[in-house]
Structure 1
Amino acid sequence: MKKKSAYLAVSIIATILACKTTNKQLVGNAQYVNPFIGASTNVGDAGVYHGLGKTFPGATTPYGMVQVSPNTITGGDNGSGYSDEHRSIEGFAFTQMSGVGWFGDLGNFLVMPTTGPLKTNSGTLADPDAGYRSRYDKKSEQATAGYYAVQLSDYKVKTEATAAPHSGMLKFTFPANQQSRIQIDLARRVGGTATEQYVKVVNENAIEGWMKCTPEGGGWGNGDGKADYVVYFYAEFSKPLKNFGVWSADIPDGAVRKREEVTSAAYQQIIAKANILKQVKEKQGKHLGFYTEFATTANEEVLLKAGISFVSLAGAKNNLQTEITDWDFNAVKQKATDLWNKSLAKINIEGGTDEQRTVFYTSLYHTQIDPRVFEDVDGNYMGGDQKSHQSKDFTKRTIFSGWDVFRSQMPLQTIINPELVGDMVNSLVTLADEKDKDYLERWEFLNAYSGCMIGNPAVSVIADAYAKNIRNFDVEKAYQLSVNSVEKFGNGEKGYVTDGFGISHTLEYAYFDWCVSQMAKSLGKTADADKYLKKSKAYYNIFDKEKGWFRPRDKNGNWEAWPAEGRLKQWYGSIESNAYQQGWFVPQDVDGMVALMGGKAKVIADLTTFFEKAPQDLMWNDYYNHANEPVHHVPFLFNRVGAPWLTQKWTREICKRAYKNSVEGLVGNEDVGQMSAWYVLAASGIHPIAPGDTRYEITSPLFSKVTLNADKASAFTIEANHNSDKNIYIQSATLNGKAYNKCWIDHKDVIKGGVLKLEMGPQPNQSWGVN
């Protein structure tokens, strides 16, 4: 960690701890949450283009639709809109993404308190004075579960934020000033701009309107993600609207309005010269903002609250009026804290250090941001057909980071939140109908079939849910969509993929074929089960026995040239990885993979090298690269090759080295809960290798006691007696009082409740769990 970053991390932690000791609301597991963990997009500190965690520090509720968070930057690959090293804030938005790359999206309804002359453009990090953004006092910055606060230095305004599931609230404490203001940039969007906006003053305390966000305005994938949504809002001000207006920039017809263009100096000059339309009560345009001005006395509090909807103006208003009925900021904040305490109570831990408890519950917090609710309080949601629908048997959810979350995040939810898994499956299945698609989307974002990343991850989630008896969805339709998906995106007649990512594609498609075969077998579809089980062996087709590893083929079946770096070469047949990292991905047939690789002893030696050559900080590298998902199952492979003590050793190492209670506490993108879910499961002592199978690998828990589903009668407890930093190896085990000598446990044993007791020691017991 760089000295500057270390200093900031210490400063932030001190602030959080100080807040915890003075805020009596922080009881329960929410007291351990530090939303600043991972709140950096800094490429320099990460040492790679992916950046770090890319989380946001603002206020939200469990799986809530609204996130009220500071934004420090528009443009670049800054998915959360915030990075800790930035020293000015351009506003507080009501929607955010968590932990994503691909330039990000949302960041809508950007609210900023200002004083003095009105400025209509945000300015830049290099020149904050050129716009309405403000420097801020880093030491004043506070964040807890459901709350954020900061002192804006340039305007001397303290800003506090809290949230409800579909609405949010901001409290501004102004100085004495004759020209204080709340202004709202309606065009702002993290990865570009809203292409059209509308605002209307509906009475002396309220406005309503919408922001239309299309691919032409950049956003997800800078437009390639096909994001096409409308954010509706209904906002009320505690101070009457008397001196108000709209600003409207004259965006030339035909202007390109994507990420790089809208952050260019030329475009910003257009916004800076926007027309200021005083006392205008209604306006529609290409780049709008709204402001209300008023005089304030010293320390006068002015509040804004707003409901958000992706369906309608009426939905936004109803969301606000249902959830936030008055101006009691502390009551809303307390309710958010209560929601987090209830949600975080799904897992209780005992033992460990303060840092470990903070990292654990912040990780659990990050797994409970997405997949977020995407329907209004009345159950109405915007469908993929751009029509309003009413949810009946499930809650409509969105933001399915498929390629990431099928590995740890969704399996975690099958244990502690099975209803959510059913919601997500229903949301994906009904979305296919609404968009008239015959396959499942791999990375869904606000109804968009974005096509991001590779494989068929929704197939894994469906197969895993079905195998674990989560079946509150149209099983036949889900199964058929799964079949259609692997047929549309698969290894084809050749049995391998010949494009530039042939290793990644072929291996991942083979696993998803296996997922279909598993579900087909359970459904009694014998022919399909046999067909897709055979297809799941496609990994054989790209294994070069001469090189002893996986290798891409061209369209004629010839091996692609072997690079000088060998399997360490980044992007050689592999997406965001190298062949060494991607090649371990045969979770559906570990025994077959091991046989190809030369047997257990050779694999153990190779895996050991894979871990030992990784850097101490586990930042982006050519060996065990925890910063990216393809290797997340690899530490647990030792269980499958007769060396479970090495799974125990390396998961403890990863928990210690890749997760910290600091801004730079995540070695890679949070990826919508996946990075954190890995930690929650591994630190608890279990993790799957192949979702779709009900087997969890047992490893060394961080804590003396972990209780899963602690809020239910069917709680499952993992006790680790004599656990410590040195006693990391399992000596023996009992399950519900009976001797247990397996290094794995079935989902049904976890979900029905019970007690797994582990005796821990400082040296490996090489006879436990090897059968």
Structure 2
Amino acid sequence: MRSPSTGAGRAAARRCPPRWRRLAALTGAGAGLALIATFAMPVQASAGSARPAERAAAPVTDPAALVNPFIGTSNDANDFPGADMPFGMVQWSPDTPSRPPGGGYEYKDSSITGFSLTHIAGPGCGAAGDIPVLPTVGAVDYAAKDSFSHSAESATAGAYKVALDNKVTTELTATTRSGMARFTFPSTTQANLLFKLGGSQNGGSNTRFTAVSATEVSGQVTSGRFCGAGNTYTVYFDMVFDRPYTAQSTSGANARVTFDTTGGQVVRAKVGLSYVSGAGAVANRTAEAPGWDFDATRAAAHRAWNDALGKIGISGGTTDRQTLFYTALYHSLLHPNVISDTTGQYYGFDGRTHTVDPGHDAAYANYSGWDIYRSQAQLEALVSPEVASDTAQSMLDDYRQTGVFPKWSENNGESYVMVGDPAAAILADYHAFGARDFDTSAALAGLVKQASTANNDRPGLNYLDAPGYLPHNGGYGCCNFYGPVATTLEYATADFALSAFAGALGDTANQRTYADRAQDWRGTLDPASGFVQPRNADGTWTAGFDPTGGTDMVEADSWIYTGMVPFDVAGLAAAKGGDAVMSDYLDTVLRSYTGANGYAWVGNEPSIELPWEYDYLGEPYKTQGTVRAIQDQIWANTPAGLADGNDDLGAMSAWYVWSALGMFPMTPGTDDLALGSPLFPQAVLTLPSGRTLTINGEGAAADAPYVQSASFDGAAWNNAYAPTNARSDGGTLTYRLGTTANTSWASAASAAPPSYHGSVLAPPDPRAGIVTSGVNAGTCLDVDHSGTADGTAVQIHTCNSTYAQDWTVAGDGTLRALGKCLDVANSGTANGTAVRLWTCNGTGAQAWSPGSGGTLVNTNSGRCLNDPNASTADGTRLEIRDCAGGTAQKWNLPAAPRARTGPVTAGAGQNLCLDDRSGATADGTPIQIRGCDGGEAQTVTVAADSTLRLRGGCVDAADSGTTEGTRVQLYTCNGTNAQQWRATSAGRLVNTNSGLCLAAPSTTEGTQLQLRVCDGGAAQRWTLPA
């Protein structure tokens, strides 16, 4: 998540500018591979290009020792370096003056303002940072900060240490619900511990500090308001010391205790936290930290991390890569967090105290839903199925308490930050990857209700039936709604995950319902531009579309979001014009990994699946090369070396873990794993079933990402997805790797990972592809340097399979590439006027019609698209000129897609079809319902311009009517919206002009069809021809 924009009803203070807007300002620095050069390397035979098998390296035996908590403490990753436990309540860590959101620590800073007890790793808004404690010497100054040097600082999993310039050494470690500190002061009578109780990252209120005894203090603070939301929580602490303090005092929201260290310089402290009560904090401290042995507590934390990290054992690779891997896994296991006390009590979302459900160890909180459903939830379930199961049960309890599942919650409060309905994907992901010890039937029932009944988690739910997408000009009400296009795609993903979860539990009805509704993504994809883009409720696309703009998107632009259909990549490819067009799109959007020119920003969630989509196009070698380039370019064993963006509660770190294993959980709600290539010679995963999955990378090396061949349990494996039983049953997946791309491995259509289309019939495929010159079939109509700025030259260039040469022949007579139109400059009509790329605007300067001899005639000028002097030189700019025929004006357009023709069957009754009464052809002939007979009067063609054609005419709303009861008739095709029909995922046919649905008022044969308000009934359900 990056500081999100807000929807209606939220305070202006919450309007943080989205970090993705920096994309527009970035140059090409840090851009990705030049894909064409990389992937066009000559391919040798598999055996020739593979590296020889290396002797097995020794497995890592102490992964916690390899963790570098300083990775991600700079460059906006917002991680923290302090002491913690896997999924623990306490994160005792230093804060610095810059105080980045959640993590609180910026490596570039040179002083520390306090060591606060709570942190969140990598959010986009301020969070936690509660109860900062700062050791000082001398006079009390609550504004104090202590300078330090990184040379005097160290951290590892579960422990942190720094020698401050004031001569105080601070050492921290933790248990799940408590922390322990060892402060070594100089010899002084004024060794202070300052409690900055109002110093939570979002400020504190209701602060209390009590001196319980000369060795014990307690207190509380209320904070929250994540991203400006209204949610709050209260955290309680109880701290004891191994020696009495000599003085204590309070000042407003601050307090201090002072020790005399002239007779002994070490002061040890233990602190318990609770979100229930002060008594809970005491109970947590006494249960988990009964003794004073700091070294033993630190060693116990180290062992706990080894147990967690050891679920994935690796062998070989450089120390830096091992450090990156285990640090990423460490970051992936920091959240969610235990919220319940050792007594089992926790403070719920309803403001009441509850007890952990029987059979579960703890309640959990802190869900960055929009982020973690893509990568972290699956990894959590794989390596910590007990925690994931408890988390799932906690989410269900949150739903029972409030009526909605958590979306982006902090402790016991919901913020409604970000969009979509991520709980469906998280719970389905948990279940798919082996975390199944929760009330699955109740969870499914809750998710179905949330997906079908108006609620705060799904603003705009009413639009999913009709028009079947969230419109640009819709009304959405509460709860931080923004980005209708992005949210439509998020809802589609949530619906698919819900469908998969229902299917896994045997609920076939809901499986089909939500698999079908997941196809609503199609309502956002303009077949003419090939991009997802803003659309009005009446079906029209908003004017002035620019694929690099962020209108109706969330932390990204249309370039990025167009690829975000993770459950149906094959369907997306077909809708864009085929695998070749889709591949060209990926080649272009992945020219950058850091957001340059509006292209992919793989440091933020909407882009992280893009590199894996080549697997679905018969080009897994591009996935292998691209993923390795991303690993090398935006990950490093440095403070700034985490993904070029927020870690988002481990979502980005989890991406790295999956990528290093050579796989990715591409399809939310399933355990489908798209394959890349492993980074290490061997990795061994201990699965929830107790079995192991071994991944061998023979010849693994930094410059050897390419799979030459693979086998599973000794048998050849030629698929770009993991064996379906590997996640549950284990086995051995072995790759032979090399430095040269093997373009034939797993390239067959049958080798692609699964795509899920539902039972919804897709609209006609667009007419898209290259436009070749009549002068030379090897030259193509091309956008100069793939530019998207208005005025970019359109030229001749050697055909090169880039997105700059993929043109869509749109139904409105335009030729479109890169989301814009082929345009005659300044609407010129004179010979020699140049053509260019320009925002589509509906003018005649952008209208082209096929002429004789393969010409393209501009309708505004009557002149033809012309290649000056019949040139074949790359970069020759095109123009318009008097139509004269010849090769200079001949253009070979992409082939027209196959028309779909057949009956349109009704859902209102058995064996009923849309029918042209009496087979007549006269304007005004009623369109009726009649028993299906296979005759010509029922033979409908679904045309590329969204018309339904039969008997030489179009299905038409009479008199362009927009009211209920408008009759439907046959009429001469005229290009008006009264004849435009859009199929929704629920089987409705929505009239573009009126927004009303085609309906059969009764099942009586001969009943004329009408337009009706879309209501989801059987009378409005239609099945188009395949």
- Both structures adopt the same fold (TM-score exceeding 0.5): yes
Could you tell me which residue of structure 2 aligns to residue 73 of structure 1? 97
1:62-141 alignment runs, 5 A limit: 62-73=86-97, 78-102=101-125, 104-120=126-142, 131-141=143-153
Distance 1:683 1:621, change over 3 A: farther
Q: 1:27 to 1:62 in 2, by over 3 A?
A: same
* Maintained 8 Å contact 1:511/1:588: yes
**Residue correspondence of structure 1 range 315-464 to structure 2 within 5 A:** 315-391=280-356, 392-394=358-360, 395-435=362-402, 437=403, 439-464=404-429
State the SS of the aligned residue for 2:707. strand
Instruction: Give secondary structure in 2 for the equivalent of 1:316.
Output: helix
- The change in CA–CA distance for 1:542 and 1:619 in structure 2 (over 3 A counts) is closer
Distance 2:382 2:247 in 1: 54
| 2:82 aligned partner | 58
Equivalent residue, structure 2, for 1:275:
none
2:689–2:729 CA contact under 8 A, matched in 1: no
SS in 2 for 1:304: strand
Match of 1:177 in 2: 188
Superposed, which structure 2 residues align to 1:709-724 within 5 Å?
Answer: 709=686, 713-724=690-701
In structure 2, distance between residues paired with 1:27 and 1:94? 30
**Residue identity in the other structure for 1:582:** Y
Q: Residue 874 of structure 2 corresponds to which residue in structure 1?
A: none
Confirm or deny: 8 A CA contact 2:383 2:688 kept in the other structure: no
Whether 1:188 and 2:202 are equivalent positions in the alignment is no
**Shift in CA distance, 173/423, structure 1 to aligned 2, threshold 3 Å:** same
Q: After TM superposition, give the deviation of residue 386 of structure 1 in Å.
A: 2.3
Aligned partner of 2:70 among 22, 36, 59: 36
Q: SS at the partner of 2:725?
A: helix
Q: What is aligned with 1:274?
A: none
> Using the alignment, how far apart are the partners of 1:242 and 1:156 within structure 2?
20
**Offset of residue 751 of structure 1:** 2.5
Letter in 2 for 1:142: S
Is 1:749 the counterpart of 2:740 in the alignment? no
Query: Cα deviations across residues 97-130 of structure 1 (Å, max 9, x unaligned)?
Result: 110112x22111211111221123xxxxxxxxxx
**SS of structure 2 residue aligned to 1:678:** helix
Distance 2:110 2:178 in 1: 27
Match of 2:612 among 636, 645, 668: 636
1:463–1:519: 8 Å Cα contact kept in structure 2?
yes
Q: Is the 8 A contact 1:175 1:299 kept in 2?
A: no
Alignment of 1:169-318 (within 5 A): 169-191=180-202, 193-213=203-223, 219-222=225-228, 224=229, 226-248=230-252, 287=253, 289-297=254-262, 300-318=265-283
**2-structure distance, mates of 1:86, 1:336:** 27
Of residues 326-335 and 458-467 in structure 1, the stretch that sits farther from structure 2 once superposed is: 458-467
- The one-letter code of the counterpart of 1:393 is G
Deviations 1:639-693 (A, max 9, x none): 1111111111111111111211001011110000100000001101111211212
User: Quick one: which of 163, 175, 179 aligns to 2:174?
Assistant: 163
Provide Cα deviations, 1:446-498, integer angstroms capped at 9, x if missing partner: 12121110101110122233444543222232112212332332343211112
Give % identity.
33
> Is the CA contact 2:332–2:653 (under 8 Å) kept in the aligned structure 1?
yes
Given that 2:153 and 2:163 are in contact with CA atoms closer than 8 Å, whether structure 1 keeps it comes out as yes
Residue 550 of structure 1: how far off its partner (Å):
1.4
- Is the 1:80–1:190 contact (alpha carbons within 8 Å) kept by the matching residues of 2? no
Residue 68 of structure 1: how far off its partner (Å): 0.7
Q: What is the one-letter code of the residue matched to 1:626?
A: V
SS in 1 for 2:327: helix
Alignment-derived partner of residue 809 in structure 2: none
**2-structure distance, mates of 1:246, 1:551:** 57
SS of 1:340 mapped into structure 2: helix
State the match for 1:531 in structure 2: 513
Q: Which residue of 1 aligns with 2:471?
A: 498
Preserved CA contact (<8 Å) 1:468 1:748: no
Partners in 2 of 1:56 and 1:432 — Cα distance? 30
Structure 2 unmatched runs, 5+? 1-59, 473-481, 752-1026
Q: TM-score, length-normalised on structure 1?
A: 0.84
CA–CA separation in structure 2 for the residues paired with 1:621 and 1:39: 27
Which deviates more, 498-507 or 307-316?
498-507
Structure 1: how far apart are the matches of 2:715 and 2:438?
A: 37
CA contact (8 A) 2:377 2:426 kept: yes
1:561 pairs, out of 543, 555, 564, with: 543
Aligned equivalents of 1:512, 1:293: Cα separation in 2:
54
Cα offset, 1:74, TM superposition: 7.4
CA separation of 1:765 and 1:185: change in aligned 2, threshold 3 A: same
Alpha carbons of structure 1 residues 148 and 738: separation in structure 2 relative to 1, 3 Å: same
Q: Deviations over 1:118-177 (max 9, x none)?
A: 123xxxxxxxxxx22121223211111111111221x22111111111111121111122
SS for the counterpart of 1:476 is helix
Contact 2:208 2:219 (C-alpha < 8 Å) held by counterparts: yes
Structure 1 residue 359: Cα displacement: 0.4
Match of 2:951 in 1: none
Quick check: 1:176–1:299 contact (8 Å CA) kept in 2?
yes
Deviates more, 1:715-724 or 1:760-769: 760-769
Q: Report the 3-state secondary structure (helix = DSSP H, G, I; strand = E; otherwise coil) of the residue aligned with 2:251.
A: strand
The residue that corresponds to 2:705 in the other structure is: 728
Equivalences, count = 669
Higher mean alpha-carbon deviation, 508-517 vs 635-644, is at: 508-517
Pick one of 598, 601, 625 that aligns with 1:622. 598
1:517 aligns with 2:496: no
Aligned pair 1:758/2:735, yes or no? yes
Higher relative contact order (CA 8 A, sep 6+): 1
User: Which deviates further from its counterpart, 425-434 or 663-672?
Assistant: 425-434
What value does the CA root-mean-square deviation take over the aligned residues?
Answer: 2.0
Q: Which has the larger radius of gyration?
A: 2
1:663 has 2:639 as partner: yes
Query: Is the CA contact 1:345–1:711 (under 8 Å) kept in the aligned structure 2?
Result: no
Decide whether the 8 Å contact of 2:366 with 2:411 is kept in 1.
Answer: yes
1:709-748, Cα deviation, whole Å (9 max, x unpaired): 1898511110011121232211111111222111111453
Shift of 1:388: 2.1
Instruction: Output one character per residue of 1:3-54: Cα deviation in whole Å (capped at 9) or x when no partner.
Output: xxxxxxxxxxxxxxxxxxxxxxx971111100000112xxxxx5xxxxx210
> Which amino acid letter does the alignment assign opposite residue 577 of structure 1?
A
Distance 1:306 1:443 in 2: 28
Task: Tell me: CA distance 1:620–1:59, structure 2 relative to 1, closer, same or farther (3 Å).
Answer: farther
* Shift, 1:227, TM fit: 2.7
Once residues 223 and 589 of structure 2 are traced to their aligned partners in structure 1, the CA distance between those partners, rounded to angstroms, is 44
Counterpart of 2:155, as a letter, is A
Equivalent position SS for 2:299: helix
> Would the alpha carbon gap of residues 710 and 428 (structure 1) be closer, same or farther in structure 2, given more than 3 Å must change?
closer
3-state secondary structure, aligned to 1:325: coil
Partner of 2:683: 706
After superposition, the Cα gap between the structure-2 partners of 1:74 and 1:623, relative to the gap in structure 1 and judged at 3 Å, is closer
Residue 66 of structure 1 deviates from its aligned partner by 0.4
Kindly indicate whether the alpha-carbon contact (under 8 Å) linking 2:192 and 2:256 is maintained by their aligned counterparts in 1. Answer: yes
Q: Secondary structure in 2 aligned to 1:196?
A: strand
CA positional deviation for 1:330: 1.1
Deviations 1:692-716 (A, max 9, x none): 1221011111100011118985111
TM-score (norm 2): 0.63
Structure 1 residues not aligned, in runs of 5+: 1-25, 41-45, 47-51, 121-130, 249-286
Q: What residue is the counterpart of 1:692 in the other structure? A: 669
Select the structure that is richer in helix: 1
Asked if the contact 2:239/2:269 (under 8 Å) is kept, the reply is: yes
* One-letter amino acid of the counterpart of residue 478, structure 1: A
Could you tell me how far apart the structure 2 residues matched to 1:357 and 1:509 are? 37
How far off is 1:298 after superposition?
8.5
SS of 2:378's equivalent in the other structure is helix
**Larger displacement relative to structure 2 (493-502 or 444-453):** 493-502
Q: For residue 124 of structure 1, what is the aligned residue in structure 2? A: none
